[in-house]
A and B are shown apart, each in its own frame.
Chain A
Amino acid sequence: MSARTARERLAEAQSALVRSLAQGAPVPAGFNAERVQETARTLLAKRRRRVQRSWPRLTEALGESFRPRFDAWAQENPMELEASPLADGRRFADALLGAGEFPDMAREELLIFELRYHLTGQGLVPRRGLTLRSMRIGSSILLAARLPGGRVLRLRLPF
């Protein structure tokens, strides 16, 4: 018996399994590799589907390229803190923004997200009170306000 505790041994074993499932690391020894990989595919599909539901405009805008782009990004960026599709999609959006590949068609959705939440080191935090945001979309400007209580108003200029 080593000096490590049961919790430490379990943590190490579970970590290897989760890295295999979430990031495509090698399947730990002794497991049925085919079944673990099938589970990894199920997990990725579930994660993708939940993000697609939370970000319908982004999904529509990326069309058929959503799946390969999201899947490639997701393997490099496992979910941390919370398994929240809103937060997960927001991080994916950041990656697209960084690459200059965020579709114009989904900018309004991103703006509305920004009105309602902000992503912090502790996860997704709902905003409170009045929040204002504006964003240039093509040749127009979108103004949006989140009122205390949660209602969102939008105005596109020029009308």
Chain B
Amino acid sequence: MKPLAGVGLGWRRQLAHRIDQEPGLGFVEVLAEHLNPTAPLPAPLLRLRERGVPLVLHAVSLGLGGAEPPDTRRLDTLALLAKRLGAVCVSEHVAFVRADGIESGHLLPVPRGDEALDVLAENVRLAQAALPVPLALENIATLFEWPAPSCTEAEFLAGLLSRTSALLLLDVANLYANALNLGTDAAAVLAAVPRERLAYVHVAGGVRHGTLYHDTHAHPVPMGPLELLEALAARLGPVPALLERDDHFPSPEELAAELRAIDAAIARGVARREAEMVQRPEPQVMAARGSEARP
């Protein structure tokens, strides 16, 4: 796929005017479930397409982690929308959303075991075969895990990438939430991301209620996800990153500041990477950096 670059923003009706006015957006993500596949596309999306802004089609209801193969009707709809938008890729979650005829209305985790991974990988391959553009898979945030996982989140991710040819949409806000709520090893997950498989990164805000962190997409982005983004850029170099905001839309100034903060986090990571590349041959410098030194 044509590689994405820069900082992007998730298209929402409430942000349409802002996105229309914003010349600096690297790319825009469009929610598949908000579009009527048979009606004309909303005019602001057509304008973005005409401006040549790369568009990604983002879906939440395919349920790739479900026990059933992905529904062909849903896949046909996604394929049609991807074509009409001229989307560079389609992204979906590593999650299941329905079982036994009940819609959860939520992204639910899949068991981290070989058997579930086999089913997931097969579902991913079926989806890829039905879509006209590459498919990127996103890690979700969850408050609970399945019992007795047979591997870590990083190992599961690596297993999924090795069993399929899908791309990765790494959500650093979800990773941050899981690190806080479940003790997920965020550094290990970042270390498992191959640059050539990374389509883009999601960044979003959330809020802490009591002991739990909730990935709401309705609050400011805390430092945690930005630090993970910085660490990722320090390992991989510049990565395309997109802000998701779904509710309690901030003022144009606040939104612009969040986009700049994402850009700045990537720039800090890239600077760290460059500094380390220069310093790496100098053993005394490595020693001086102490525990922060990277192998």
A residues contacting B by CB (< 8 A) are: 6-11, 13-15, 17-19, 21-23, 29-32, 35-36, 38-39, 42-43, 46-47, 50, 78-83, 126
Interface mask (B83-115 → A, CB under 8 Å = 1, otherwise 0): 000000000000011111111111010010001
Contact between chains at B103 and A83 (CB < 8 Å): yes
A to B CB contacts below 8 Å, 9 in the list: A7-B67, A10-B67, A15-B99, A17-B108, A31-B144, A39-B143, A42-B214, A80-B102, A82-B103
Across-interface contacts of A46 in B (CB, < 8 A): 105-106
7 A-B pairs with least C-beta separation: A30-B147, A11-B67, A35-B144, A15-B100, A83-B105, A14-B99, A79-B103
Across-interface contacts of A32 in B (CB, < 8 A): 144-145
Contact between chains at B102 and A10 (CB < 8 Å): no
Given contacts A10-B67, A14-B66, contact A19 B147 (CB under 8 A): no
Contact between chains at A17 and B99 (CB < 8 Å): yes
CB contact list, B225-261 vs A, under 8 A: none
For residue A106, give the distance in angstroms from its CB to the closest CB of chain B. 23
Contact between chains at B105 and A11 (CB < 8 Å): no
Across-interface contacts of B35 in A (CB, < 8 A): none
B43 contacts chain A at the CB level, 8 A cutoff: no
B41 contacts chain A at the CB level, 8 A cutoff: no
For residue B33, give the distance in angstroms from its CB to the closest CB of chain A. 9
Contact between chains at A6 and B115 (CB < 8 Å): yes
Query: Total A-B residue pairs with C-beta atoms closer than 8 Å?
Result: 94
Closest chain A residue to B147 by CB distance?
A30
Partner of A6, one of B61, B66, B119: B119
Interface size on B, residues (CB 8 A): 32
For residue B252, give the distance in angstroms from its CB to the closest CB of chain A. 23
Contact between chains at A22 and B119 (CB < 8 Å): no
B118 contacts chain A at the CB level, 8 A cutoff: yes
B191 contacts chain A at the CB level, 8 A cutoff: no
Closest chain B residue to A79 by CB distance?
B103
Closest chain B residue to A83 by CB distance?
B105
Across-interface contacts of B181 in A (CB, < 8 A): 35
For residue B108, give the distance in angstroms from its CB to the closest CB of chain A. 7
Given contacts A10-B119, A29-B147, contact A38 B67 (CB under 8 A): no
Across-interface contacts of B36 in A (CB, < 8 A): 126
- A56-B170 Cα distance, complex, nearest whole Å: 36
Given contacts A19-B100, A21-B108, contact A10 B116 (CB under 8 A): yes
B68 contacts chain A at the CB level, 8 A cutoff: yes
Across-interface contacts of A19 in B (CB, < 8 A): 100, 102
- A79-B67 Cα distance, complex, nearest whole Å: 18
B212 contacts chain A at the CB level, 8 A cutoff: yes
B287 contacts chain A at the CB level, 8 A cutoff: no
Closest chain A residue to B116 by CB distance?
A10
Across-interface contacts of A35 in B (CB, < 8 A): 143-144, 181
CB contact list, B17-39 vs A, under 8 A: 36
Across-interface contacts of B68 in A (CB, < 8 A): 7, 11
Contact between chains at A79 and B100 (CB < 8 Å): no
For residue B69, give the distance in angstroms from its CB to the closest CB of chain A. 8
Which of A17, A32, A47, A50 has the largest count of B CB atoms less than 10 A from its CB?
A17
Contact between chains at B105 and A18 (CB < 8 Å): no
Contact between chains at B102 and A79 (CB < 8 Å): yes
B288 contacts chain A at the CB level, 8 A cutoff: no
For residue A116, give the distance in angstroms from its CB to the closest CB of chain B. 13
Given contacts A10-B119, A43-B105, contact A18 B214 (CB under 8 A): no
Across-interface contacts of B97 in A (CB, < 8 A): 83
B148 contacts chain A at the CB level, 8 A cutoff: yes
13 other A-B residue contacts (CB within 8 Å) besides A13-B146, A15-B102, A82-B103: A6-B118, A7-B68, A9-B115, A10-B116, A21-B108, A22-B102, A38-B212, A39-B144, A42-B214, A43-B106, A50-B105, A82-B61, A126-B36
Across-interface contacts of A6 in B (CB, < 8 A): 115-116, 118-119
Contact between chains at A83 and B61 (CB < 8 Å): yes
For residue B73, give the distance in angstroms from its CB to the closest CB of chain A. 10
